[in-house]
Amino acid sequence: MSTEPSTSTGPTPSTTAPEPAAPPPRRWWALCVLGLAQLMIMLDGTVVNVALPSLQQQLHLSDGDRPWVLTSYTLAFGGLLLLAGRIADHAGRRRVFVTGLAGFALASAAGGAAPTAGVLFAARAAQGACAALLAASALALVTTTFPDLRERRRALAVFGALGGAGASLGVVLGGLLTQWLGWRWCLLVNVPIALLALARAGCVDAGREERPAGRLDVAGAVLGCGGLTALVYSASQAESDGWTSPLVLGTLAAGAVLLTAFGVRQTRSAAPLLPPRLLRDRRRVAALVAGAVMMSAQLCVALFLTYHLQSVMGWSAVASGLGFLPISVVTTATATQLSTRLLPRLGPRTMMTAGLTLAATGLFLLSRLTPDDDYATGVLPALVVFGLGMGTGFLAMMTAATADVPAHDSGIASAALNTAQQTGGSLGSAVFNTVAAGAASGFHGSAQAATLHGFTAAVRWPLGALLLGAALALAFGGRRQERA
């Protein structure tokens, strides 16, 4: 009997309408899972801040040890991002994503149950390492899951908006959890989120993943991760020791030397950790700069508002957290409703330039605040303008950073963007803190007026960085407009 398939001419679903590779509902379920991971990463970066006073008291931390609750997380996260991106490309992005989710849940549970400061620091470092795996693989999975440009814009808009919302939600949730349930729940809250994402991780389909040729560049990983770790550490120490302390200057110099050696290594390696070809695209470089200054500005605004609403305006921690919500609402609405429509017409260069300029305008409005200004007429307009800028710039920045990237480099391209954001945020917030403290200490007046003066003076630094980023986006953002 013949084994050839039937040649019947009758219409069948398979011959009249090709079946799509991945049904749309499955793709959008996958986005929900990836977005949950992004939300959790950004949430964890801020949710612990409000709990620091009660955490310090219960675990008997000294003032010198207290910053390590945050530093142990940021060091592991920022230092391991590039390595995590290349691991995702070599080992498989979905596999790395699931591993990161499981590890993050375990580390969060360990941190929430930590009996001593040492256990807590170790758990926070493990959280940071797993967050690096998640951040490097999640954005890459978004870009490969949505090959259609129109759908990809929507997916990136939602993904970026969830990240921005997570940072603001962390402040609100941190206040509520600390006040009602205790500081341990600021860490334990990640466990159900991670488990929910794990339960639906089967929706995430990486397809046929192309793997890069050659082995992992171990020497490049040591140089790159060491240099980034030194930079993040120097920024965290500068907040307490000052930029002129020998420790800060020494780690800054060490970081610069290691990163220089890393750059030289990448040009000579047969299988570089960060392929130089990715940085030959001027649009991508402009997007990386935009990501760095946007994250820096976002963290500076969070710090500004936390102190202004509580120290100057006398709000409670919970009320102050709710005061952050306009940024999340405006950023999310702008990214998902406005940017997705304007980006195909205007292109990434125009959108990045406009977003960075709008964000700078919001910071300028914050710099004009006085102790007599109320929230509705003083703070809120600045937050709305700043949120408009963030929502306008986020989608364009992520689109430019991941455009025209070969599939086997999508993990490292995503990690490069996250590295730029993390490093820019760490350095920018440290500079902001130092300038604000110096300006406040030299001001003659009430404590509230001195606090506000310090922050309004320090705002000029992230404001200037945003304008510099806008100029670079305008000059190097490319001329070609992306068409759907």
H/E stretch holding 340 reads: helix 340-367
Q: What is the pTM of this model?
A: 0.81
* Per-residue confidence (pLDDT) for residue 479, from 0 to 100: 57
What does pLDDT average to in each consecutive run of 10 residues of the chain (484 residues)? Answer: 42 43 68 88 78 82 75 85 87 91 96 94 94 90 83 83 72 77 90 92 72 74 88 79 87 93 88 86 92 90 82 80 84 88 91 96 92 90 94 90 81 87 83 82 82 88 94 78 45
- Go through the chain and tell me how many residues it has: 484
* Per-residue confidence (pLDDT) for residue 321, from 0 to 100: 73
* Per-residue confidence (pLDDT) for residue 211, from 0 to 100: 66
CA Rg, the chain, in Å?
23
**Helical H runs in 146-245?**
149-180, 185-188, 190-199, 218-241
Residue environment code for 135-147, b if the CB has 16+ CB neighbours within 10 A, otherwise e = bbbbbbbbbbbbe
* Per-residue confidence (pLDDT) for residue 206, from 0 to 100: 61
* Chain Cα centroid distance, residue 53: 25
Which candidate, 262, 267, 339, places its Cα nearest to that of 79? Answer: 262
Report the alpha-carbon distance of residue 116 to residue 258 in Å, rounded. Answer: 34
Q: Is the Cβ–Cβ distance between 234 and 252 less than 8 Å?
A: yes
Q: Is the Cβ–Cβ distance between 54 and 183 less than 8 Å?
A: yes
* Per-residue confidence (pLDDT) for residue 168, from 0 to 100: 67
* Per-residue confidence (pLDDT) for residue 232, from 0 to 100: 82
H/E stretch holding 417 reads: helix 410-441
Which candidate, 382, 457, 363, 468, places its Cα nearest to that of 424? Answer: 468
Supply 75's token pair: 């060091």
Report the alpha-carbon distance of residue 377 to residue 369 in Å, rounded. Answer: 10
Residues contacting 12, CB < 8 A, separation 6+: none
* Per-residue confidence (pLDDT) for residue 214, from 0 to 100: 63
Instruction: Give the Cα-Cα-Cα angle 419, 420, 424 (nearest 5 degrees).
Output: 115
Report the alpha-carbon distance of residue 148 to residue 165 in Å, rounded. Answer: 25
